Structures are given as C-alpha cells and as structure tokens.
Structure 1
Amino acid sequence: MSVTVAIAEPGQHTEGPHWDHRTNTLLYVDLLDPCVCRWDPVTGERDTFKMACSPGCVVPRESGGAVVAAGTRFASIDFRTRRLTTLAEVNHDKPTNIFNDGKCDAAGRFWSGTMGKDSAFGKFEFGAGSLFCLHTDRTVKKALGGVSISNGLAWSPDNSVMYYIDSLQFSVDAFDYDLSTGTPTNRRKVLTFDPATSVPDGMTIDTDGNLWIALLNSGQVVQVDPNTGTQLRAVKFPTDRVTSCCFGGPDLDVLYVTSTRVNMSAEQTLQQPLSGCVFQVTELGVRGSPGMDFRG
C-alpha cells in the first residue's frame, strides 16, 4: 500500500470525507475553520463553502448540491448560488450541542449525531448528545440519546447491520437494521479499544464487510472483521491525529483519510506538520462500498 498527501494545505479539524460519485469529487468539512470543501483530485481544484456554524458532516443530495449537518440543523447547500437552506432542526432543548459525523443509508436517509459543545476539542460533556435520522420526507427522528461524541457510521453490504461509534464508549456497536423503516434494534458491542491509546473516530466499510476505523491519537486506520473482532491490517500516517476515512476514486479503491491539528502544542505541530491534511491510500487491494446520497 502507499500513503501520500492528497490535500497538502492543512485544515484545523478536517472530518467527514464523502466521495461524490456523480462529480468524482471528495466532500469533507472543517469543524473549526467552519466550511464545507469539495475537492477535484484530477484538477486539484477545491471549492470552499464558508459556514457561520460548525459543520459535522456533508453528503451529496440526489437532486443536486449537498446536505450538511451543522450546528443543530440539517441544511442544503447549493454550490452554484452559494445558498444554505435549513431543512430541519434538532436539540431545541440543548442549543449549544453541535452535529458531528454522519452519512446516509441505502434508502437515502441522512443519519447524524450530536455532541456537547466543545466535546470534540477536549471539554467533554458526557451523554449530552443524540443520534438523529433525517428521513426523505424531511422529518427527523431521534434514534439514541445519552451519546457523548456521536461518530462513525457504516452499514453491512446487505444493509442488515448498522455499525456505530460513540467515541467515549471506546467501541464499535452493531444494531440489527430494518432498511424499510430505518429502525436499528438489538444494540451490542462488536469491537472495543484501549482508551489509553486509541479513540475510535470515523469509519467506513469495504465490499467484503470489513470496517476501516480511524483511531485518533494513534495515527492509524485499522481494518477489522466485525464478525470476529480480528484486526486484519493497520495503515500508519505521518500524524497521530487521524479523524475519519472513506473510499473514493472512480473505482472506489482509494482510501481518503482526514486529520486534525486541534489541541496540538507548537512542538507537536512542528514534529507533525502534516496534521490537518487529507491523505490518500492506494494499492490496498480492496474496494469500498459507495457513499449514499440524501434522497429528500
């Protein structure tokens, strides 16, 4: 395998990469320099959509443009007109919460979860967040409460299992998933991590059903079989602070990995100057499942 820098200009806290197969571009967000970015790997051009509040994740919209979970609202983005339009709002009882990671299921519902304000950046508010689902009719349902840092999501290739990370549980949980209704049930832990060394952050899944999990603080993305808990391989990066990952490229065989420079000292930043960049991993010998669009 080969690890190289895809986007060399570092962000503050790059997150939520998502490959848009319609435009062959990579979408991602920066939570602290609040913006949504759309990057073309062929031309190297990057379109930056500045935000007034912190975006947690972004997905393409089937009807055009994209949908972002930012602050406490789901909103559509029109890159052409530079217009942001609110679709729904959440956490009316906790207005300081902010959205974090998320993605769409195979039916086009947009799942994203919240966390207590600043909890991603060192000030934890345990159990303040929730996991929400924006349905295609734009209604929102709360699926889980008591979440600390809502993070990675993935679905098994047959869509019968939903995988979910609450980072401060230091685990990957699985649910039985009813795609017809968007209902997760029977929550159980399938993977656990050592809190002293690794914080599970964003994740994706390959066509073999193996999870790829970004481990904040340990500088690696690990490939794990969720059925056995076996780690199959680990990909190391020139920063300890990787945040999330997705498969992209025309053949979905490139792993894109985001990173952060939040809470790094001047000395750490000097030692790891590529922190905050977006990386790409090639020659992995696997392909990813395509990211889904929001269909509402």
Structure 2
Amino acid sequence: MFSCRKMSVDPELAGVQVEEVTAAGAVQLGEGPHWIDSEQALYWVDLLAGVLHRLHPASGKHTSTTPPGKKSLGFVVPVFRQPHHFVVGLGLDVALLRWDGETQCAIERVLGSVHATPGSLRFNDGKADPQGRLWAGTMSTAIDKGVDPQPEIGSLYSLEESGVKKHVDYVGISNGLAWRDAIMYYIDSSAGRVDAFDLEPASGQLSGRRCVFDLQKNGVPGVPDGMTIDSVGNLWVACFDGAQVICVDPERGALLRRIPIPAKQVTSVCWGGRLLDELFVTTAAVKAETGKVAAGRLYRVTGLGANGLLNDQERARKHEIHLTGANDDVLKVGQRSSSSEEEERDECAERNYGVRRAVWRCERALSGIALIP
C-alpha cells in the first residue's frame, strides 16, 4: 500500500477519511488528475514546473518526468488503445507525448498551437468529452508571475475533425470540465460559478449557457477550480483558496456536502481506486501557501459513499465492471457480460465514448493548424 498520513475531518462527516498521500511529495501547482483504470494509476501535473507525475497506489511507487521545452503543463489526457501516449497542453501547444511511466518522455509531435503574444497566455485545464473530443481552455500567465492578470483574455476551444473551433471567449481562468448526457459543465474561475451548456454531441455545438451554482451566493469561500462528476450526476468542485471540496447537485443548484482539505489552495479532483470510490485531490503551494506543510500535497478522500465514471476505453480491461449508459460511462459493479474480452474490446471500439479519438482526430485534422484566440 502507498504511504499516507491520516488527517482529521469534520465530525459531521462520519466515515469520511482525508489522507495525505505522502509518497507523492509536494508540488508547486498540482492540477489535472486523471485515473487510468487499466494501470490502477493516477497521473497529474505540476503545472508551472512542467512536470508529469504518476502514482501506483497499490505499490506506493511514484515516478515523474519533465517533457522537453521547459513549458507549463496544463493537462494530460490518455490516448485510447495507445499505451503510454497522452495528449498534453504544453504552454500554448497541444502535443502528443509518449511516456512509459519510468524512463524519459518524448514529444512525438505538436498537434496544434494557439498563437498569442509570447508569454501572455497558456493552456490550463483540458479534458476529453464522451465523444473523444478534446476541450481545453487558456488563461493569462500574469497570475503565475504574481501580478493581476489581464481580464478575460482566455478562451475555451474544442478540437474537431474539421479543425479548431473556439466556443467561448472573454474567459478569465478556464478551468473545470465535466459532462453528463447532453450537458457540459464548465468553470471560469474568475466568474466564481459553475455553468452548464447544452451540448450537441455530434457537432460539439454549445448553447443555452446558464449558471447552475454560484459559490458566493451559497456562502462558499474561495473560487471554483477543477471538478469531476459522479455516477448520479453530482459535481465535485475544488475550491481554490477555500480549503475544501464541495459536492453540488447541478439540477437543483443545491450544495450537498463540504469536504475540508488541509491545504487552502485546492485545485482539482478525480475519482480513482478499484471501485472508483476514492476521490484524489490536488493542491497548490503558490503565493501565501508557499512553505506550508499541507500545501501542494496530494490527498485521497474515502468513505464518501459515491463513485465516479469510468472512461469507456477501460471497459474491456476491467473484468468485474460492466458499463452501460450514454454519457461518459456510468459505472456499475456486477457480472461481466458473456462475451469474451476481445469481443468486449471490439464492441468498445465501436462506441463513441471516452478519449479514444483524441489523437487520430488531431493527427488527421490539426497537424499544422493553429488555434486562433
């Protein structure tokens, strides 16, 4: 088992345990956690340092690598059926990275780039939707330097077969993404709220933007950062400068739970573990948090009575799990189907979920095409 340090939690949260994953050490700006179920491993980034981390909780083994180029590393998304390959946000480049989790990594190619004044913008959060379409947003780099950022100069993009499409502009700090059915949830941290869009799955067209949860109006300190969704559709939102993760029902706009985290700057969350019932939480050690013991650490929260969604790419490799549903994969624990593993893998390949198209779409449509902010 991996090394961890148990932390105290609110007595009202009976059964909930928050643990510091000491094997992972501390980072400057932890972000972008992603659980790869076939490896039973967690990947995340130290965004400003440009370092990619991997943790195998069962063995406690932690490794890391620094992609060449000395750029910020905004997100990491695994590629379907291409082991050890990831789509990453390097500065303002979307790149295909190869890393086996042990040796030095390599950038195989740049798939696309945002053109902007050098040093003015960078990619922040990014994920793939249930159709395998990559979404990634930009933000000002001024905040990284400790100065007030230029307001709302970022944008949210998707990568389509036909090229690059900008969906949202006038973004302050592009952050959390999550999907359920034909709804996309999105966080611009500067706005202090979680928004929802209606998403047309085939085209990726967004419409009907509305606020589903406003932190300030609900008395929640801090600003919303990264987020994930559970199997019943509730959102779990990291609160930067709020020292907590909150659980929100987006349909009712209701605050369901608060999970205190020892670090003030809570940055992102994702589900992991064998049953996807463990919430991994990344934090930062920037500004006032620098030097504080709890800052920049990785945390694991158990006993929540909730579980996450499994990327469909992992379905054929997880024998005890059968997945159904038309969203980013509803997790059900039960009997495996009667088909063989190979048949399941073929069936999985026919479906349009997960992130399996993230690279072939980019290679076919985005090579040499620049994103225009």
| Same-fold call, TM cutoff 0.5 | yes
Matched, 1:134 2:159: yes
Give yes or no for contact 1:121–1:262 (8 Å, CA) kept in 2. Answer: no
Determine whether 1:61 maps to 2:72: no
TM-score, normalised relative to structure 2:
0.74
SS in 1 for 2:216: coil
- The 8 Å contact of residues 49 and 73 in structure 2, kept in 1 or not, is answered as no
* TM-score, length basis structure 1: 0.92
Could you tell me how far apart the structure 1 residues matched to 2:263 and 2:17 are? 15
Structure with bigger strand share is: 1
Contact 2:213/2:253 (<8 A) preserved: yes
1:17-36 map, 5 Å: 17-36=33-52
Q: CA deviation at 1:225?
A: 0.3
- What does 1:118-267 align with in structure 2 at a 5 Å threshold? 118-119=142-143, 122-123=146-147, 124-135=149-160, 137=161, 139-156=163-180, 158=181, 160-194=182-216, 197-264=221-288
Separation of aligned partners in 1, 2:193 and 2:231: 22
- Aligned counterparts of 1:217 and 1:210: Cα–Cα separation in 2: 22
User: What's the secondary structure of 1:213's corresponding residue?
Assistant: strand
Q: Deviations along 1:140-185, whole A, 9 cap, x unmatched?
A: 22111111100000001x2x10000000011111000111122211
Number of aligned pairs? 289
SS of match in other structure, 2:190: helix
RMSD, aligned α-carbons: 1.9
Identity, % of aligned pairs?
Answer: 39
What is the CA–CA distance in structure 2 between the aligned matches of 1:25 and 1:265, rounded to whole Å?
28
In structure 2, the residue corresponding to 1:273 is in which secondary structure?
coil
1:67–1:294 contact (8 Å) kept in structure 2: no
Match of 1:5 in 2: 20
**Superposition misfits of 4+ residues, deviation over 4 angstroms:** none
Contact 2:124–2:138 (8 Å) recurs in 1: yes
The answer (yes or no) to whether the contact 2:264–2:289 under 8 Å persists in 1 is: no
Matched, 1:86 2:109: yes
Say if 1:72 and 1:95, in contact at 8 Å, map to a contact too. no
Q: Give the Cα–Cα distance (whole angstroms) in 1 for the partners of residues 40 and 162 of structure 2.
A: 26
Separation in structure 2 between the aligned mates of residue 177 and residue 107 of structure 1, nearest angstrom = 11
Partners of 1:12 and 1:138 in 2: CA distance: 37
- CA gap of 1:126–1:293, structure 2 versus 1, over 3 A, is same
Runs of at least 5 residues in structure 1 that lack an aligned partner in the other structure: none
Q: Where does the alignment leave 5 or more consecutive residues of structure 2 unmatched?
A: 1-15, 312-353, 360-373
> Hey, what's the Cα distance between the residues in 2 that align with 1:207 and 1:94?
41
Aligned with 1:235: secondary structure?
strand
CA 289–122 in structure 1, closer or farther in 2 if over 3 Å, else same: farther
User: Is the 2:239–2:245 Cα contact (8 Å) retained in structure 1?
Assistant: yes
Alpha-carbon distance in structure 2 between the residues aligned to 1:120 and 1:177? 32
| Cα drift, residue 207 of structure 1 | 0.7
